[in-house]
Structure 1
Amino acid sequence: MRDVAVVIPTLRRPEGLERAVRSVFAQAEALERIAAVVVVDNDPDGSAAPLAERLRSQGPVPLAYVHAPIPGVATARNAGLAATDAPLIAFLDDDEAASPRWLAALLEAQVQTGADVLFGPIRGRVPDDAGWTTAYLERFFGRQGPLRNGLTDDLHGCGNTLMVRQTALPGPAPFDVAMNETGGEDDRLFTALMKRGGRFGWAADAWVDEFAPPHRATLAYALTRAFAYGQSPSQMAADRGDWPGVIKWMLVGAAQAAIWGAASLVFAMLRHPGRAQVYDRCARGLGKLLWTRRFEPKLYGAAMLSRGG
């Protein structure tokens, strides 16, 4: 029963894309479940086409190539969905590589929990020259969770997920293209699912490695994304129309920014080895406080092209 499509959006990362696709080809326990690997090329120039063609000829499962020339994370995900009618959708990013039991573990957890969306753990990998920020960046690009499968109230990003299409991905374009450059399209999708009574699960053994490229494995980039992550609780409350919740999160953010901002000054003066984590907490507090679209950093889509991916 081939009922799973693995969707891999990509933007000018040929080495990462090949690593990601080959890690799906290596899913020995779940190969018979894979209807297709869908590579969504989000480069206006269609640069991934030759690689996709080569991989198609080498793979043990069908590979579909989709060109989505308008850069944007939501556009790419929607294009991948449009290319398949599989009832189960697994998302893997082009900077990730799945462990050999990744898909089997996601499918097992879905049966156990009945969740509409399953999240899996991630090991962050950074270049060897990351220096004193190495431990922080590995945690930042990673994802930790419970040691056992189960339902969860903790929401994460789309990378390393399995979704039940009928319940979690309604309509032909469930990801909001207004979020193409800022990200957060997954937060908006999951907020709507939560309002509908959807369930979220954790697949403890569905490991992937995420390889941060050098231009992302920096403190500046991580803190910019930490600020964006901090915006999420306030934005999700606003999307629900929960204005008391927005005020609550803004107050939490103000307190966090004040406390961790003061701590950041002290840790910076002492050159404390754990100072990056303190900066991160301050950035997330500021994000809760400054949550409106005006303050959203542009990290994806055309912004990625301008930075070289």
Structure 2
Amino acid sequence: MIPTMRRPESLARALRSVFAQDGLADRPVSIVVVDNDPAATARSTVETLKADSPFPVVYRHEPRPGVATARNAGLSETDAPLIAFLDDDEAASKGWLTALLRAQEETKADAVFGPIAGRIPDERSWAAVYLQRFFGRRGPLSTGLIDHGYGCGNSLMVRHSALPGTAPFDASADQTGGEDDALFAALKARGGRFGWAHDAWVEEFAPPHRATMSYALSRAFAYGQGPSQTAAKARDWSGVFRWMLIGTAQAVVWGLGAMALTIAAHPRRADLMDKAARGLGKVLWTKSFEPKLYGVRELQRLDGVNPSAA
């Protein structure tokens, strides 16, 4: 399943990487592309590339912008027992899907994740190492069970246990992201298991407007909000207070460290800025502070609209 919004070149690259998958033998595979642009701009790309696909390709138009809504729409197009997710800015290695399937069979995990190599447009930037790591993903050096989930990009999920119901992704997170964090928190609470496929590699190509410190720190802040928001949803107010105390300490300690390294122009300052932003997110966890990074806000950016003025 590949959700997409106005990234025709990236979508074509992602699709071709899936077409090139090997080692699948006679396993039934189909591809679902969810076009999340109200103008349905991905339709022509999908129709053009269909003829090159060794697998059936399903096109679904979901005009309501939002990543959770898009994923839910895609799930309604298939009754497959296993769902692999690939983002439209990712390209899978040839053995990607085989590696995910093999890891799921070995671990019996409900959700399996693989490593991501982050790619950014400007590799000479002072923050290049941090940004490549930010858009990438590293894990254990061998396949096995792990104790937590990652993001949906580059994952394989067992439909009945990891994706229950007709709309397992929370559409209230359409504009902010974090719908996968909520999904995996609920899965863990039900006793679900997470797996890691060490050889299921994909590359993620960060577009120029996202390969910036401002975007990365906004995402880091949103990630930081996760633990406090999860505790609040469970009405665990002592847990919220604990996370806020932890976040305050992190924001102060790492923030001061980031200031010192910024004065010294040290490249590691990006890492401390990230940690400080995550700490601040634990403190400012309410909806009013959630950064709007997806859905309508992304569509406004693509339309050339100043989101702050919209």
TM-score, L = length of structure 2: 0.95
SS of 1:258's partner is helix
**What is the rounded CA distance, in whole Å, between the counterparts of 1:239 and 1:16 in structure 2?**
36
Instruction: List per-residue Cα deviations over 1:231-286 (Å, max 9, x = no partner).
Output: 11222222333333222211111000010111121111111121111111110100
Give the Å deviation of 1:181: 0.4
Mean Cα displacement is larger for which, 252-261 or 264-273?
264-273
Instruction: List per-residue Cα deviations over 1:163-186 (Å, max 9, x = no partner).
Output: 000111111111111110001111
**What is the rounded CA distance, in whole Å, between the counterparts of 2:28 and 2:127 in structure 1?**
38
Aligned length: 303
| Residues 218-229 of structure 1 aligned to structure 2 (within 5 Å) | 218-229=212-223
The question of whether the paired residues in 2 share the 8 Å contact of 1:126 and 1:134 is answered with: yes
1:164 aligned residue: 158
Give the Å deviation of 1:291: 1.1
Alignment match of 2:279 (pick from 260, 285, 290)? 285
Call closer, same or farther: CA 1:30–1:252 in 2, change over 3 Å: same
1:4 aligned residue: none
Give the Å deviation of 1:43: 0.2
Alignment match of 1:267 (pick from 258, 261, 268)? 261
Consecutive unaligned residues of structure 2, counting only runs of 5 or more, are 304-310
2:211 aligned residue: 217
Give the Å deviation of 1:194: 1.3
Alignment match of 1:190 (pick from 184, 189, 193)? 184
Which consecutive segments of 4 or more residues in structure 1 shift more than 6 A?
Answer: none
1:9 aligned residue: 3
Alignment match of 1:253 (pick from 226, 247, 256)? 247
Alignment match of 2:65 (pick from 50, 68, 71)? 71
Call closer, same or farther: CA 1:209–1:295 in 2, change over 3 Å: same
TM-score, L = length of structure 1: 0.95
1:132 aligned residue: 126
Instruction: List per-residue Cα deviations over 1:71-125 (Å, max 9, x = no partner).
Output: 0000100011000110000000000001111111101110111100011110000
**What is the rounded CA distance, in whole Å, between the counterparts of 1:31 and 1:88 in structure 2?**
16
**What is the rounded CA distance, in whole Å, between the counterparts of 1:227 and 1:308 in structure 2?**
23
**What is the rounded CA distance, in whole Å, between the counterparts of 2:93 and 2:28 in structure 1?**
16
**What is the rounded CA distance, in whole Å, between the counterparts of 2:28 and 2:232 in structure 1?**
37
**What is the rounded CA distance, in whole Å, between the counterparts of 2:234 and 2:142 in structure 1?**
30
The question of whether the paired residues in 1 share the 8 Å contact of 2:19 and 2:52 is answered with: no
Mean Cα displacement is larger for which, 228-237 or 70-79?
228-237
1:100 aligned residue: 94
Aligned identity (percent) is 62
Mean Cα displacement is larger for which, 126-135 or 71-80?
126-135
Consecutive unaligned residues of structure 1, counting only runs of 5 or more, are 1-6
The question of whether the paired residues in 1 share the 8 Å contact of 2:66 and 2:174 is answered with: yes
**What is the rounded CA distance, in whole Å, between the counterparts of 1:64 and 1:141 in structure 2?**
28
Mean Cα displacement is larger for which, 216-225 or 147-156?
147-156
SS of 2:68's partner is helix
Call closer, same or farther: CA 1:83–1:269 in 2, change over 3 Å: same
1:121 aligned residue: 115
**What is the rounded CA distance, in whole Å, between the counterparts of 1:129 and 1:166 in structure 2?**
42
Alignment match of 1:141 (pick from 135, 138, 143)? 135
Alignment match of 1:175 (pick from 152, 155, 169)? 169
Matched, 1:42 2:41: no
**What is the rounded CA distance, in whole Å, between the counterparts of 1:49 and 1:190 in structure 2?**
31
Letter in 1 for 2:101: L
Mean Cα displacement is larger for which, 231-240 or 218-227?
231-240
Instruction: List per-residue Cα deviations over 1:169-217 (Å, max 9, x = no partner).
Output: 1111111111100011111111111111111111111111000011110
Instruction: List per-residue Cα deviations over 1:22-59 (Å, max 9, x = no partner).
Output: 11111111263243110000000000001101111111
Letter in 1 for 2:132: E
Tell me how large the CA RMSD over aligned residues is: 1.3
SS of 2:31's partner is strand
SS of 2:239's partner is helix
SS of 1:163's partner is strand
2:232 aligned residue: 238
Alignment match of 2:55 (pick from 50, 61, 72)? 61
